[in-house]
Amino acid sequence: MANPATLASTFAAKQPVHDRLDDGPHGPRPKRSFSRANIFLYGTLALVSIYYLLPLYVMLVTSVKGMPEIRMGNVFAPPMEVTFEPWVKAWAEACTGVNCDGLSRGFWNSVRILIPSVLLSITIALISGYALSKWKFKGSETFFTILIIGAFIPYQVMLYPIVIMLRDTGGFLTDIWQATCGVFTSAEGSCRGRIQLFGSLSGLVIVHSIFGMPILVLLFRNYFASIPDELFKAARVDGAGFWGILFRIMLPMSMPILVVAMILQVTGIWNDFLFGVVYTRAEQYPMTVQLNNIVNSVQGVKEYNVNMAATLLTGLVPLTIYFFSGKLFVRGIAAGAVKG
Amino acid sequence: MNEMTKVDAGHSVEIRHLDLQFGAVEVLKDLNLDIHEGEFLVLLGSSGCGKSTLLNCIAGLLEVTAGQIIIKGKNVTWAEPSERGIGMVFQSYALYPQMTVKGNLSFGLKNARVPKAEIEKRVARAAEILQIEPLLDRKPGALSGGQRQRVAIGRALVRDVDVFLFDEPLSNLDAKLRAELRVELKRLHNQLENTMIYVTHDQVEAMTLADRIAIMRGGKIMQLGSPDEIYNRPQNRYVADFIGSPSMNFIDGRLEGGVFTSGELRLPMEGYEYAAPQVSDGPATIGIRPEHVVTGELAASAPVQTEVLVELVEPMGSDTLVYTELAGERFRIRMDGQAVVHAGDRLPIGLVPAKASMFDKSSEVRL
């Protein structure tokens, strides 16, 4: 087709673009990097960053100074002589009122609390959220509402009732254990054991799991509600049941929300102080309580460098988690946004 | 489909006195429907008429309030969806996103603990029928809309089911692809000879695919019949209005001694097949399809002739829509695409009473 229009356009395509254009604006609009809006935006960002990073800087610097250097009073000055002794001391030797093995004891206690609590709470919330969004039963909405109301009741109100509940449940379980124990074993004295929930790590794990429930169930329910019902119906037609759909259809699609739930729970439980100090005994205190006891124990000189190192050590776990999963976290939060 | 020997043309799906209530809302009310073996039945209606709900009831995804559902002579009212011998295809395809096409096809078979070799065989066969063999190792995310819907059909196909249920399967596709897949579905039905129940709100899909159409409204079936019956002999005004595009022209008037009158217009109903042998005089509505109005030279030979004033012309390429007025009512005429008509023209037209539909004015039932 020797149509003049097609000829013109094929011809033009062979030439550099600017030859075809008149003078004057063409192409992408140039952007000025030092516009007033940009200066204001980045200026504010820089200011806020400094505001938040300064304390971290002071802590880091102080934690690697020796005590004589700290006494000179120059808080912002970089260390003249870098020493990691305060870190070692904070980890292994610092004294609380009760013991002198530093933060390490608290760290391992926290790990022992954290892992079962996170697994237990996420498992239960995952199943509940799935049931509440895809297997609605009569009263499931009411049940969910009650659960959410639980999130708005201040912890202080429940603190003491839970002490009683843990104590009595422990006693009740002990009674059952001792009454039925003879059925399983005839060994002498094997039935003397007591089940203790109050003042034990298992009790604290249960408390953490329960208190994580409202927000986690909300998170999972909303996430599953956003998965189309037709997918769920298709799986039912394909013969999958409650667990089959959960494990083979829903769970593989739930990575983002699982990450969010994990971050929420890990940071929440790791940073918990109140439950840790109320429901456990001195030798089981989690890291946060141990940190407090180290920082606040007054024996002679206040070792600021050790305190700083201890604080940084305690904050390291949530910090690492945020650092590595920040992007996933934002994605998951958006996915679990309140719907239906 | 090996068991699908067509010894009897019996009923494949029977629905008896089906009720469904959501709280106080009655969605389906005393619904009865018999679907023949190998039939392609389309449930047609506007949104909220209960057509998808009925399909979900047949699939077992909704629990019925009362009544029975019988598939292949077996009462499945309380059976699980997977035990009913049905396969379902959804509007949004509903493919499992984390599985490959092959995984999607074999998921139902694995749940039914079908031996591995048999799964391979059936997946290969379905893939061949639907021409999706090159896609077997892809994830649904890497497929186009048409390919996804093929896989969704394949998922029902591999399970060797008696009844296929389609819930608006083509609504998410663009117009061109929809037309293509429509033809393919029809071919598939001819090939498999399965019973198929197909929900849609698209009357073109209904007319082209169906052996029989059930037009639903407010949880009830307004008319059940072949596309030809539905189009030519609508049982009531709703069906007459619903089917056909542009829709039927209605003129209110009176029927007296076999003559329909409305203002100036007089239509002797010669050759009209009355629904009942005895028709009493009284207020009536006549419905005339825009395509049944005779124009041009043929108008003079039609039983009834009149003239209308052209208000507006919509050329559509293949045909031309002409908006006019007759007996005080808006009156649309469909003419040939080549017809030369302009707004303001006086157009001589011919009417054929035998092709019209007449309804009782108050009950809206066909006379």
Q: What is the pTM of this model?
A: 0.81
The reply to whether A5 falls in a domain is no
B92 CB within 8 Å of a chain A CB: yes
**B137-143 contacts at long range (C-beta below 8 A, 24 or more positions apart):** B137/B100, B137/B101, B137/B102, B138/B100, B138/B101, B139/B97, B139/B98, B139/B99, B139/B100, B139/B101, B140/B93, B140/B95, B140/B96, B140/B97, B140/B99, B140/B101, B140/B104, B141/B97, B143/B101
φ/ψ of residue B345, rounded to 5 = -70, 150
Task: Look at B94 and A249 and tell me if their CB atoms are within 8 Å.
Answer: no
Pair B43, B51: CB distance under 8 Å? yes
Token code pair at residue B153: 């059909």
The residue of chain A nearest to residue B84, with distances taken between CA atoms, is A237
The predicted structure's pLDDT at residue A327: 75
Nearest to A233 among B90, B112, B155 (CB): B90
Query: Mean pLDDT over residues B179-194, rounded?
Result: 91
Residue A50 and residue A196 in one domain: no
Exposure of A87 in the CB half-sphere (CA atoms within 13 A): 13
Residue A62 and residue A200 in one domain: no
* Mean model confidence pLDDT for chain A: 85
Domains present along chain B, CATH in parentheses: 11-238 (3.40.50.300), 242-360 (2.40.50.140)
B97 CB within 8 Å of a chain A CB: yes
The residue of chain A nearest to residue B62, with distances taken between CA atoms, is A233
- The yes-or-no verdict on residue B296 having pLDDT over 90 is no
The residue of chain B nearest to residue A232, with distances taken between CA atoms, is B94
Query: Mean pLDDT over residues A297-324, rounded?
Result: 86
The residue of chain B nearest to residue A230, with distances taken between CA atoms, is B94
* Mean model confidence pLDDT for chain B: 90
* Contacting residues of A for B82, CB less than 8 Å apart: 236-240
- A168, A216, A261, B3 from A128: Cα distances, Å: 27, 9, 14, 42
The reply to whether A288 falls in a domain is yes
pLDDT classification of B3: cutoffs 50, 70, 90 = very low
Residue A62 and residue A113 in one domain: no
Secondary element (H or E) of residue B268: strand B265-268
Residue A72 and residue A123 in one domain: no
B56 CB within 8 Å of a chain A CB: yes
Q: Between residues B215 and A80, which one has the greater pLDDT?
A: B215
The reply to whether A266 falls in a domain is yes
Give me the percent of chain B exceeding a pLDDT of 70.
Answer: 98
Residue A115 and residue A233 in one domain: yes
Angle between the A304-335 and A85-92 helix axes, to the nearest 10 degrees?
70
Distance (Å, whole) CA B223 – CA B357: 15
- The yes-or-no verdict on residue A5 having pLDDT over 70 is no
φ/ψ of residue B268, rounded to 5 = -70, 125
Domain boundary among A83, A113, A146: A83
pLDDT classification of A20: cutoffs 50, 70, 90 = low
* Contacting residues of B for A228, CB less than 8 Å apart: 92, 94
A139 CB within 8 Å of a chain B CB: no
Lowest-confidence range among A175-184, A218-227, B132-141? A175-184
Distance (Å, whole) CA B187 – CA B193: 10
φ/ψ of residue B199, rounded to 5 = -100, 135
B274-295 residue pLDDT tens? 888 878 888 999 999 999 999 8
- The yes-or-no verdict on residue A333 having pLDDT over 80 is no
Residue A43 and residue A116 in one domain: no
The reply to whether A28 falls in a domain is no
Domain with A63 in it: 35-83
CATH code (residue A133): 1.10.3720.10
Strands B40-44 and B212-217 come out as: parallel
Token code pair at residue B63: 């629990």
* Contacting residues of A for B155, CB less than 8 Å apart: 234, 238
Token code pair at residue B316: 């559509």
The residue of chain B nearest to residue A251, with distances taken between CA atoms, is B98
pLDDT classification of B216: cutoffs 50, 70, 90 = very high
B148-163 residue pLDDT tens? 999 999 999 998 898 9
Residue A233 and residue A298 in one domain: yes
The predicted structure's pLDDT at residue A196: 83
Q: Which of residues 236-295 of A touch B (CB under 8 A)?
A: 236-240, 244, 248-249, 252-253
Token code pair at residue A74: 């120059």
Angle between the B116-130 and B145-157 helix axes, to the nearest 10 degrees?
140
- A137, B72, B194 from B6: Cα distances, Å: 42, 12, 10
Q: B11 CA to chain A: closest CA distance, Å?
A: 22
* Contacting residues of B for A234, CB less than 8 Å apart: 88, 90, 94-96, 152, 155
Closest CA to B181 of B157, B142, B209, B200: B209
pLDDT classification of B1: cutoffs 50, 70, 90 = very low
Residue A60 and residue A174 in one domain: no
Name the residue type at position A191: C
Domain count, chain A: 2
Domain boundary among A83, A116, A149: A83
Nearest to B111 among A228, A231, A240 (CB): A240
Q: Is the peptide bond before B246 cis (omega within 30 degrees of 0)?
A: yes
- A75, A83, A131, B147 from A304: Cα distances, Å: 11, 14, 51, 67
The reply to whether A2 falls in a domain is no
The reply to whether A154 falls in a domain is yes
The reply to whether A17 falls in a domain is no
Residue A171 and residue A52 in one domain: no
Name the residue type at position B138: R
B92-126 residue pLDDT tens? 989 999 999 999 999 999 999 999 999 999 999 99
Residue A74 and residue A110 in one domain: no
A233 CB within 8 Å of a chain B CB: yes
A136 CB within 8 Å of a chain B CB: no
The predicted structure's pLDDT at residue B7: 39
- The yes-or-no verdict on residue B211 having pLDDT over 90 is yes
Residue A268 and residue A169 in one domain: yes
Query: For tokens 């809302």, what's the residue?
Result: B25
The residue of chain B nearest to residue A138, with distances taken between CA atoms, is B23
B301-327 residue pLDDT tens? 888 899 999 999 999 888 999 999 988
- The yes-or-no verdict on residue A330 having pLDDT over 80 is no
Distance (Å, whole) CA A326 – CA B121: 46
The predicted structure's pLDDT at residue A16: 56
Q: Residues for chain A: how many in total?
A: 340
The reply to whether A141 falls in a domain is yes
A107-155 residue pLDDT tens? 999 999 999 999 999 999 999 999 999 998 889 999 999 999 988 888 8
Closest CA to B197 of B86, B297, B315: B86
The predicted structure's pLDDT at residue A60: 92
* Contacting residues of A for B122, CB less than 8 Å apart: none
Residue A325 and residue A245 in one domain: yes
Helices (H), A185-303: 201-225, 229-237, 242-245, 255-271, 274-279, 287-296
Distance (Å, whole) CA A293 – CA A181: 40
pLDDT classification of B4: cutoffs 50, 70, 90 = very low
